[in-house]
Structure 1
């Protein structure tokens, strides 16, 4: 094998080229082959058994066996959580170093047998522990009943309670003069004490005496398997029928009844007997719990490794169930998509496995079917695969959330790397706030290995995954904040100002500065605090938003030309791109040029009022050729020409593509019909290939002229309307930038800005408190909340305004079989 390798082609501007391959794998080495391909992570396997029920496939028994092992592992984990034992997780990189090859069948059977033995052992210990705990709680409850009722039993007299008054009943019962047949004792949940009292009072009409005592220690409830608050009770009444009714009522309310000897000597004997039994049960329970905890702690060190191993083994059998099993040849036939550049890697893996199992003593059947790979020529749509790294992955995921790019079309994720943080920064432009965001993201980036190995909640994981996006947003915000000359809403004099104030003025007189030069970079600090600063910044940022929107949409629209050239679709260039470009540039491109031209003219120097561009654009459509305020010579003729050009572009957009379709052919197949396969030389292989690919052929669909016409009408209307609405949508850049600046200014003036006027020790303390309040509100409101709002608006500008100009988003994501995808998914 050659040591020098060609540099891999990029697959970020457009998706990588994919190849459909067919693999013939002998059954003896099928598991090893699939395992090796999974470690490589380059093959997206297709299901060749779509017509076969999932429960009737070849390797369903093996999967069920591994499912049972996973169930046992989940049981072990639940028992660990009950004992507060943490599972010792093994990172994916460490696991790969430990597990470099697939387990043998005997090792897999041994793993399953060990799981069964461990389940039996832990189940036995758990059931014994629960049984002992139930017995312990029963003895404790009996003990509490004896303690609570001991004061009532001193004599053995039993007069008729019904014949006595209520006061006499209470005095007599509290004196302890009762027999064993006159009372019932037990324990009941505290939440049901009042319910018991009401029911007994209504059923027995007051012919009873009930005494309850709260038990300080929580008692174990067998039904709910939790510890709850309970009360001990003693119920005095008369007659066996009434007492039997009381027992039934108590038992229906989950009360535990206990016998208490009315004789003092008997109660002493009961107490001693219960104390002895409680001591024995507690000792056995502690030993059982200690043994169970020891078993679980020993298990926690290896369980995650075993679990990952079982997951991989199960995934291997799941992939094998996607393959066609040839009973006669004893081989598996698999199909899958592979990036064209990586075909050699897959071939090398297959060669290594074949050579390994063809050696003498390897255990492989020498008469088995040879393993080889076929490349299939097909018109089936391949999946979309973009190569990403840790920096570009988050941007690509952001675009894929809107839609996966069509195979080989321009990827929106590449341009988003630059435009997304820049659009965000236009709305979030503040040097101080951008620095805080940059600093937070930089912390995540510098500690990414440490944080990546930690358990993260959903919110923190989103921030960690998008750490490079946040880093870029902070950096761009620092740049735009430098342009806006905003540092926590305070203006800084970085360079010499281009404005000068008069040397003398009268009190109460308005002061007007005069220009003495040009500020080197960004907004002149002289505008800070002036009466017309808001008017100036409003006008400047509003026009800047229109320019940014025009540039963003224009270069996005050019990508549609790149797509048409790549797919060699001249009708899309002539019928869609050219008229669409002329329409957009003739109106909104013209408006953008006028904005820049207006900025370049010194209207005060020439003594003319600056014309309103909004009125100019409105009159361009409502009153063609009529100019109220002239911006440049021959303006009327230029605007009439541009308007006529835009009007001509509309029927071109509407008719060229449908008429071309009508002229060339009346119908064509829109979807792929049948795969053409590169077959081997033998007729038997031809029959096999035909069986595998014709069973799931896609149906033919005929597209008529009416379908093309309707689609083009919708496209034309949508494009023309969107040119207006999308351009206006970019005004959100101006609105959010203005809102952010004003909110920052208000927060400064109402907190730390007003604290500097207080002097003395109290003033210092006041400044400290106000600074803390300002910093917390700045981080929570301006950085987090305002930052989230600006990020969502920037996301919308990319998804709707930019990507709609060229992005189809009808692709299928490339999902190769890989260990990372198997082990990462929960």
Structure 2
């Protein structure tokens, strides 16, 4: 295995490098380093405000260009113009010249002004079109109203106390004798019509006449960029003061008021003039819209390329703001973390960029904690991501992502075990895997992107479910006779007889299909899966706990081996390892053959603590003595776990204090005070009290978690039984009812019920139950497994590079 393949079992070794780069080529060098995606630069100007750094003006200029590009992208989306994406990578081999960046800046401003003017013109034209259309429909509405007889008006509009309405009731026609001040006309949104009527009725106490019509078309609103349903309205009332009050009410409800003439001839002239203006406006509107679309289409061809150039330039200047300079500002000084095996790659890259100018790369010795970097590929990346979501591993500690590749889908499969459902899940995941390049180039929503990112997890989950479903002999709630059964039923019996099967052999692998449909099937599988989940939990926690030993050995912490790992191992194995061994031993005995009742292991474990030395139902000879010894060992491990490590550090601190006191006696008083102050500051977080409190918490958590975590693995049993029973119920209530019918009705019923069964199987059993089992498996890894060894106090390795700069926008 090559050096660059490390970083899977534990994080890759990191080095802190320091670069001295001549200022005149610093921009080019950092650009080439960014293409490597290798260095996580440290901020050497952390005490300097972002607004006081060297390249603030350049970043502001680029921020403005990026704002312009975002504006163009939004307009392209509004017009449904697709942004062209071309393989421009060849043009990004070298950084653009400063003159090209300046040209992009100037072009961006020119294009923004041009597009902005077209959009503003288009907006004004749409507003004018809206006003003309609403004016037109207002005139038509008033014309329709004046042509109506009073007898044709709805009775709800009658008001016998109004002189005007008395004329209407008597059949008087509206003529040009009525001046325009006698009514108010306008347009209002349809959802505000009732509100306007209610307000006017309450304010004017019914002293008005109100008439409304629906507009025959939706009116485009340029502000909201949507089409709105509207109504015209006509309001009659007396008095100039009341008219002013009505206008204020209408304006508060965003009504558009129009001055429509009361005479029929003048209204005809208004309509003719409006129609002429609308015809001319439509021509101008179409031309402006075509001009804007042409401009946006031209921009879409090169926008992604321009944006990538600007984004890379901006990223380089951000890194340059993190760097320092020498006194003469002729040399840029940068520091950053890089994988140890990539230093040669860095050296060769900077030498190719520098030409004749010297670039110095130093490897620094430091006590700082490096970032955590695990090398992954497309298969392991998703497994690593679910571990990093809980916490980033401490530098060089065991990486939980590696064993998770197997244990996570296997724990899922124990809960989800069904051969048929596993095949459905595997086929769905396989479709994502085989089309990963095509799907990867698509724009995905959040839910689908999660499924695509975890496609290999889903594939393994499906394959492991096929395996466990084969062991459970469960295919869509039905059993399959893959091999000859180990049980034989009587050939002759009468209905109502209490019959039992005769054992004639042993089923080669998995669950014998003879158990399916028997009265004691649930009782058998219940006990079997419950004990199996305890064994799986014991194995999972035991191998996870061994990882803590691997960490202690790697970090050369002998006190943690003797003070944490050894007593913890004895405590866990003495209780729960003993229980697991008893489960396997109980399975190995033919209790029927020896004529004994098998003992209850739960009662055995309880009496082991409550009644030491007493065994009511012995499992093996000498059981009482062995259980007493194991109990004594477990009790000894508690103070061992609690006191050994704190006492060791107390002795160590006392020796250090004694040594310092001897050294201080040879110095003068001022030096003694200074040294003591420095020492107190250094060991402020590592006093005996702090270690004692931490160890007390660790001891209590470990002892209690051994019990609670073992019980937590019973979820494997519970969800497995729930999945099997739900699958049985779904089969019985749907497609199971179709097999008894015959003829055309039977065919139709079979097709319909099969469709119902398949859809419900996919939605409920595969998607919903699968999600539930996946979350439970995730919890078993985060809490029950990783808590045994995982510190998770690291920070992620985030190298400077150009990948994904525009993912947020494009």
> TM-score, normalising length from structure 2?
0.91
Among 127, 134, 140, the alignment partner of 1:141 is 134
Aligned pair in 2 of structure 1 residues 164, 505: CA closer, same or farther (>3 Å)? Answer: closer
Aligned-pair distance for 1:259?
3.3
> What is the alpha-carbon distance in structure 1 between the residues aligned to residue 16 and residue 788 of structure 2?
31
Question: After the TM superposition, which residues 31-180 of structure 1 pair with which residues of structure 2 at under 5 Å, given as runs?
Answer: 31-89=27-85, 94-150=87-143, 164=163, 166-169=165-168, 171-172=171-172, 174-180=174-180
Could you list the runs of 5+ residues in structure 1 that have no partner in the other structure? 155-160, 359-365, 670-697
Which deviates further from its counterpart, 238-247 or 588-597? 238-247
Cα distance in 2, alignment partners of residues 201 and 662 from structure 1? 87
Deviates more, 1:16-25 or 1:326-335: 326-335
State the match for 1:10 in structure 2. Answer: 6
Structure 1 residue 228, shift from structure 2 partner: 2.4
* Secondary structure in structure 2 of the residue aligned to 1:28: helix
* Structure 1 pair 252–549 and aligned structure 2 pair: CA distance change class (3 A): closer
Alpha-carbon distance change, 737 to 58 in structure 1, aligned in 2, over 3 angstroms? same
Question: 1:435 touches 1:475 (CA, 8 Å); kept in 2?
Answer: yes
> What are the Cα deviations for residues 52-82 of structure 1, in whole angstroms up to 9, with x where unaligned?
0111111011111111111111111222232
The separation in 1 between residues aligned to 2:105 and 2:397, in whole angstroms, is 48
Worse-matched range after superposition: 504-513 or 98-107: 504-513
Q: Hey, what's the Cα distance between the residues in 2 that align with 1:763 and 1:162? A: 74
- Whether the 8 Å contact between 1:326 and 1:333 is mirrored in structure 2 is yes
> Is the Cα–Cα contact under 8 Å of residues 176 and 264 in structure 2 kept in the other structure?
no
Residue 492 to residue 114, structure 1, CA distance change in 2 (3 Å): same
Match of residue 818 from structure 1: 801
* CA positional deviation for 1:124: 0.7
Residues 1:551 and 2:539 aligned together = yes
Mapping for residues 554-633 of structure 1, pairs under 5 Å: 554-633=542-621
CA deviation vs aligned residue, 1:245-277 (integer Å, no higher than 9, x gap) = 544444444333333344444434333332222
Match of 1:695?
A: none
Structure 2 residue aligned with 1:709, among 688, 692, 709? 692
Residue in structure 2 matching 1:797, options 780, 786, 809: 780
Q: Kindly tell me: are residues 601 and 66 of structure 1, through their superposed partners in 2, closer, same or farther at Cα, counting changes over 3 Å?
A: same
Q: Does 1:744 align with 2:721?
A: no
Deviation at residue 781 of structure 1 after TM alignment? 1.0
Kept after mapping to 1: 8 A contact 2:29/2:354? no
Shift of 1:733: 0.9
Distance 2:208 2:753 in 1: 68
| Shift, 1:467, TM fit | 0.6
8 Å contact from structure 1 (residues 14, 411) kept in 2: yes
Label 1:215 to 1:651 Cα distance change in 2 as closer, same or farther (>3 A).
same
What's the CA shift string for 1:165-200, capped at 9, x where partnerless? Answer: 632156445355423444443333334444444455
Q: Which secondary structure does the structure 2 equivalent of 1:747 belong to?
A: helix
CA distance in 2, matches of 1:784, 1:667: 62
Q: Deviations over 1:619-648 (max 9, x none)?
A: 211111112122122212211111111111
| SS of the residue 2:231 aligns to | strand
1:237-636 residue pairs with structure 2 within 5 A?
237=237, 240=240, 242-326=242-326, 328-355=328-355, 358=356, 370-636=358-624
Q: 1:811 to 1:204 in 2, by over 3 A?
A: closer
Residue of structure 1 in register with 2:17 after alignment: 21
Shift in CA distance, 152/384, structure 1 to aligned 2, threshold 3 Å: closer
1:632-711 counterparts in 2 under 5 A? 632-666=620-654, 701-711=684-694
Question: Could you tell me whether the CA contact under 8 Å between 1:152 and 1:176 is conserved in 2?
Answer: no
Gaps of 5+ in 2: 148-159, 658-680
CA gap of 1:372–1:143, structure 2 versus 1, over 3 A, is: same
CA contact (8 A) 1:575 1:653 kept: yes
Q: Please name the residue that 1:772 is paired with.
A: 755
In structure 2, the partner of 1:363 is: none
CA deviations 1:296-330 (Å, max 9, x no partner) are 12212222222222111111111111111335142
Q: 8 Å contact 2:176–2:263 — kept in the other structure?
A: no
- Residue deviations 1:735-783, cap 9 Å, x none? 1111111111111122112321112221121111111111111111111
Closer/same/farther in 2, CA of residues 257 and 739 from structure 1, 3 Å limit: closer
**Contact 2:126–2:222 (8 Å) recurs in 1:** no
Work out whether residues 395 and 416 of structure 1, in 8 Å CA contact, stay in contact via their aligned partners in 2: yes
C-alpha separation between the residues in 2 aligned to 1:312 and 1:790?
43
The 1-side partners of 2:318 and 2:91 are apart by 23
**Pair 641,73 (structure 1): closer, same or farther in 2 beyond 3 Å:** same
Q: 2:241 & 2:226 partners in 1: Cα distance?
A: 34
Q: Give deviations 1:140-165, integer Å, cap 9, x for gaps.
A: 222223322235679xxxxxx99946
Q: Distance in 2 between matches of 1:32 and 1:234?
A: 71
Aligned-residue CA RMSD (Å) = 2.4
3-state DSSP class of the match of 2:448?
helix
Q: Cα–Cα, structure 1 residues 611 and 123, in superposed 2: closer, same or farther, change >3 Å?
A: same
The CA deviation string for residues 403-430 of structure 1, in whole angstroms up to 9 with x for no partner, is: 1111000000000111111111111111
2:713 matched residue in structure 1: 730
Instruction: Check conservation: 1:58, 1:325, Cα contact below 8 A.
Output: no
Per the TM alignment, residue 40 of structure 1 is displaced from its structure 2 partner at its CA by: 0.4
**Range 624-633 or range 109-118, more displaced:** 624-633
How many residue pairs match? The answer is: 774
List per-residue Cα deviations over 1:551-603 (Å, max 9, x = no partner).
11111111111111111111111111111111111111111111111111111
TM-superposed CA distance for 1:651, in Å, is 1.4
Contact 2:175 2:263 in 1 (8 A): no
Residue deviations 1:446-477, cap 9 Å, x none? 01111111111111111111110110011011
Distance 1:710 1:314 in 2: 49
After superposition, the Cα gap between the structure-2 partners of 1:200 and 1:584, relative to the gap in structure 1 and judged at 3 Å, is closer
CA distance in 2, matches of 1:513, 1:580: 47
Q: 1:629 to 1:325 in 2, by over 3 A?
A: same
Contact 1:134 1:222 in 2 (8 A): yes
Aligned match for 2:790, one of 807, 812, 816 = 807
Report SS of the residue matched to 2:805: helix
After TM superposition, give the deviation of residue 818 of structure 1 in Å: 1.4
